[in-house]
Structure 1
Amino acid sequence: MGGVVGYSGNTFAQVFDNPNPTVTGLMVSLYEVGCMFGSIIIIFWGDNLGRRMSLVIGGFIVILGTVIQASSFSRVQFIVGRIVAGLGNGMNTSTLGTYQSETCPAKNRGRVVTCEGIMAIGGVWISYWLDFGMSYAKSTVQWRLPLAVPAIFALAMSGVAFFMPESPRWLALKNRDDEAKEVLAALAGEDVRTDDESILEMHNTIRQAIDYETHMSGEFSFRELFTGGELQNFRRICLCFGIQLMEEMGGINLITYYMSNVFLQIGTGHFLALLLSGINSTTYFISSFVPIWLIDRFGRKSLLIYGTIGMMCMMIMLTISLSFGPANFTAGIFAILSIFLFNIFYATGGWMATPFLYPSEISTLRLRSKGSAISVLSKWMFNFLVVMISPVAMANIGWRTYIIFAVLNFVFIFVLFFFYPETKGLELEQVDKIFTGGDPITRGAIGMRRPLGAENHQPSQDFLDKSGHDLSKHIEDVGKSSEV
């Protein structure tokens, strides 16, 4: 949408009666409302559908919404298409991180989910260059083709997901243990059998974690999302909700959705704005590869803090540069540079992928799909807020808009440091132990280099199953089978 809105005279504006900034913001941002409802579907029914079928169904809903958008001749039809496409995308984004986290070993889970972020930024890269190329068209194909292309990717995703194996942890959660072992063996390698010792140990660890969660909380109830106790579910849900809030309110969607508008605000012409948007999306895409080598080495938390500091500095630089007005050539150069560097800090800091990975890592298995979906619900809720208010803010307060995001990024640095624990290198079942240590406020977020390394840990009675087996010991020993 970034390359087809924001300027009069193009065929999009002609078909939809030259919408003003408020209507433009509404037409663009109602996509996020659809995404929010898609996340809600996963919260309530994701565990019934399963990870794989959620992706298949979500992809086909995206295709339907894309067709409605691309064939629109009225604002109402276009808005319906945006909401429908968003519904499917909300289901997809609520499920992908969970599915990937549950099928990856701890040693490279961050790298694998980072690849998802690279593909997402690759979509931004394709979209801006497609917008640039289609800007030369004189008919409505100028915007209909760019809005139709996502259907190709949605079809490919649904087709691939249909033939992929189901998550072994979801299968175990549904007591389909034989199938879970088959998937674990398949993920381990062609020559690994289901009765291999490493497979049995990994499956036993997953089974013990499920039994422990059931022992602690009984049959699932949505009330668990708002309770503390030994499992600290409410704190985990707050962390899930907060990480996507920070990702959205850091300013990335102001830049991504309205990048061409921002360049126009600097004083460029329409052609140069589209060209710079395409070049910027290219550097953005290239930068997104960097976390592959960093996220499992330096950790999620360190990268996010580094990226947030950089984003804050670039918002300050953009604010100062734009305050000189579009007539100041030197200030305009610095403003353009700050936009490029903002995207680079966002990408290299892991902000594209980590918010989808982190909720899956810190949530218990029985709440994992709900924690991820609540996180994505937060994403689309604040995405809607930013996308809706940005055109109005830029039209009314101009360069002062960016002060808001500079201040928010400053606050987020401290939130990340004091409240978000590091999860690199830990199996999903090991992460539970982070929440049982540390001081009462940060609870393992700082001062716990190896949360599972307490050699003298004595299990409480809550960590014993009905047969007296120490479930916490099983959870701590899961690293022995990390090759799986």
Structure 2
Amino acid sequence: MTSAEEKITVDHHEEEGVDLKAQHESVYDILPDWGRPWYKTPHLLHLNLILFFTFLSGIYNGYDNSLLNGLQSMPEWETYFGSPAGAKLGATSNGMLYGNLLALPFTSFFCDRLGRVRTLLIGASVVIIGVIIQTASQNFAMYTVGRFILGFGVLLSTTASPLLIAEVTYPTHRPYVTACSQALYGLGGIIASWTTYGTSNWSNGSSWMWRTPLIIQMLFPLLQLSALYWIPESPRWHVSRGNIAKAREFLLKYHAGGDEAKGGQLVEYELAEITYAIEMDKQREGIQWFDFFRTKANLHRLFIIVYLPVLTQLSGNAVLSYFLHIVLDNAGITSSHQQLIFNGCLSVFNFVIGLVSLTTIEKVGRRRMFLIGSFFNMINYTIFTILSARNAQEDFKNQSLSKGVIAMIFIFYLFFVMAYLAIPTTYMTEVVPFHLRAKGYVIHTFFLTGVLLFNGFVSPIAMGAISWKYYILYCCLNLVNFIVIYLFFPETKRLSLEEVNRVFGEDVLTDAHIIEEVEQAHNGRA
């Protein structure tokens, strides 16, 4: 094989046997025609069904985020823990983030050395421990420690899951399946919000009114652990560890249905593409964190990784997600019963919109959806801020203004969820190459945690001090987001994980020399 840095071009040619040809620019060009939809194709149906269990990471993460909103609206929880507010309330919401920070140094090591599946196993196990401690909490400190441990496990599992999903899915399914795993984050929110609403109606006043929703969270990682034996490891991870045979075995079984005659061409192409990309990585003097600074392309990737948390958490959504009860109080809706119903309805709405967004990810594209989302976030949040200001000035006595505020929350989430719920994780797995993918997730999570800490500590204090005026910050940030996306976020639709390198100006495995090797390998097995 030639040097990974050498670009090879040859004229179009044809040979007997399998003909991949030099004009093929994407793995999409050589996909076999199975003659029926994926859900009627056994090997594809099997793969997608077992991947559902990796989605559970997003579900129990979404459950936890919505759960905190519900618990804060329950008088029994408030009374038991001494009505936490301000910095103390920030410590409660940020307890999980401290666990995230502690897990950061281990995440890349576990994913790259132990594999994606084993990391998922460790993460789910730690989540269970954290849930048990929270459920058994006797005081505020014990509850916060439980959230700390929960955060450690959630980071491991929510990092390993999208990596695994992106690296094992069938080429045409990858953007949809990866995005679906994040859209189901909303399903966790639905379960949590309506569970807290249901237990809040218990009349005995027992602490089990808030302990029950906590312990239900444990069901998801338990179910995940029960299925991990059947979840296959990433073929890219196998290649990185030198297990080419295991990688080919996976591709033949799950991407080609064991049919060498019909799917062998795809298997050889994918295997050669993966091997080429990882061999190119190995030609470097070891994979280091500073690789992000060694090339213009990697600096571009690093900027995207660092900026994505701004898009997903500083668009105004964090204020509405974690401190919805304060927003509703500011809108004049102070009834615990009404707030819990609103939280449940909003969770259902977000989940439905998240599923709808899956239909746009390939048709509209990642970049265009980001642009649309940031533009309408700016418009909608500005209207939301104006209505909130007017409502406060009239002492919340104008019911029409209160209804307008509520309507704008739903309209804001319509565009936010469409653009920012599922697509960012898909985009992350695409723009970062294999050798830096786990490290990229760690860097992304580090900055995400920093943004979340800002939201957790600053937002409740700022909202208590200046109320609706704090929303102006997010109106401005949404304008900045639109400009940054337009200038720096490239399109990645209809490209394999390795082919995305092209949009960053790097070589990809479409060279005729490599394709000839694929032809020879497949014809040799025919």
TM-score category of the 2 structures, normalised to the smaller one: 0.7 to 0.9
Q: Is the 8 A contact 2:104 2:446 kept in 1?
A: yes
Distance 1:95 1:122, change over 3 A: same
Q: Distance in 1 between matches of 2:101 and 2:426?
A: 18
* Aligned partner of 1:37 among 102, 105, 123: 102
What code does the residue aligned with 2:457 have? Answer: M
Letter in 2 for 1:315: Y
Q: Aligned letter for 2:114? A: L
Task: Give the whole-Å Cα distance in 2 for the aligned partners of 1:382 and 1:36.
Answer: 12
Instruction: Kindly indicate whether the alpha-carbon contact (under 8 Å) linking 2:97 and 2:148 is maintained by their aligned counterparts in 1.
Output: yes
| 1:373 equivalent in structure 2 | 442
Matched, 1:183 2:250: yes
Does structure 1 conserve the Cα–Cα contact (< 8 Å) formed by 2:135 and 2:211? yes
8 A contact 2:73–2:340 mirrored in 1: no
Partner secondary structure for residue 399 of structure 1:
helix
- TM-superposed deviation, 1:337: 0.4
Q: 2:418 aligns with which of 333, 344, 348?
A: 348
Q: Does 1:434 align with 2:503?
A: yes
Which of 140, 143, 155 in structure 1 is aligned with 2:210? 143
* Larger Rg computed on CA atoms: 2
Shift of 1:359: 1.6
How far is the alpha carbon of 1:193 from its aligned partner? 4.2
Q: Give 1:237 deviation, angstroms.
A: 2.1
**Contact 2:179–2:425, Cα closer than 8 Å, also in 1:** no
Alpha carbons 1:254, 1:386 under 8 Å: kept: yes
Residues 1:331 and 2:401 are matched in the alignment: yes
Whole-Å separation in 2 of the counterparts to 1:212 and 1:73: 54
Asked if the contact 2:181/2:422 (under 8 Å) is kept, the reply is yes
1:221 Cα deviation after fit: 2.2
Matching of residues 89-168 of structure 1 within 5 Å: 89-137=154-202, 138-168=205-235
- How far residue 475 of structure 1 moved from its aligned partner, in angstroms, is 10
1:405 paired to 2:474: yes
Kindly provide the CA deviation profile for residues 368-421 of structure 1, in whole angstroms up to 9, marking residues without a partner as x.
111123223322331222122222122111011211111111110111111011
> Deviations 1:408-451 (Å, cap 9, x if unpaired)?
111101111110111110011111121117xxxxxxxxxxxxxx
User: Which of 303, 307, 315 matches 2:381?
Assistant: 315
Preserved CA contact (<8 Å) 2:291 2:298: yes
Q: What is the alpha-carbon distance in structure 2 between the residues aligned to residue 26 and residue 291 of structure 1?
A: 33
What residue ranges of structure 1 are gaps of 5+ in the alignment? Answer: 438-462, 464-469
1:477, distance to aligned residue in structure 2 (A): 6.5
Task: Return 186-195 or 173-182, whichever deviates more.
Answer: 186-195
- Deviation of 1:471 (Å): 5.7
- Hey, what's the Cα distance between the residues in 2 that align with 1:22 and 1:54? 33
> 1:228 maps to which residue?
295
Q: Which residue number corresponds to residue 83 of structure 1? A: 148
Worse-matched range after superposition: 200-209 or 309-318: 309-318
**Alignment size in residue pairs:** 443
Aligned equivalents of 2:69, 2:86: Cα separation in 1: 13
Counterpart AA for 2:242: N
Question: 357, 361, 368: which is aligned to 1:295?
Answer: 361
Distance 2:421 2:293 in 1: 28
Q: For 2:490, what is the secondary structure of its paired residue?
A: coil
Give the AA of the match of 2:217.
Answer: P
Match of residue 473, structure 1, among 501, 511, 515: 511
Q: Which moved more, 1:262-271 or 1:177-186?
A: 262-271
Contact 1:66 1:81 in 2 (8 A): yes
Query: Hey, what's the Cα distance between the residues in 1 that align with 2:514 and 2:423?
Result: 24
Alignment of 1:200-239 (within 5 A): 200-215=268-283, 217-228=284-295, 232-239=297-304
Q: 1:129 aligns to what SS in structure 2?
A: helix
Conserved? CA contact 2:354–2:422, under 8 Å: no
Kept in 2: contact 1:6–1:261 (CA 8 A): no
Partner of 1:466: none
1:305 corresponding residue in structure 2: 371
CA distance, structure 1, for counterparts of residue 500 and residue 223 of structure 2:
33
Give 1:89 shift.
0.6
Question: Structure 2 matches for 1:442-457, cutoff 5 A?
Answer: none
Q: Match for 2:398: what amino acid? A: N
Q: Which moved more, 1:247-256 or 1:77-86?
A: 247-256
Q: Which consecutive residues of structure 2, in runs of 5 or more, have no partner in the other structure?
A: 1-67, 520-526
Runs of 4+ residues deviating >6 angstroms? 474-478
Q: Distance in 1 between matches of 2:229 and 2:452?
A: 29
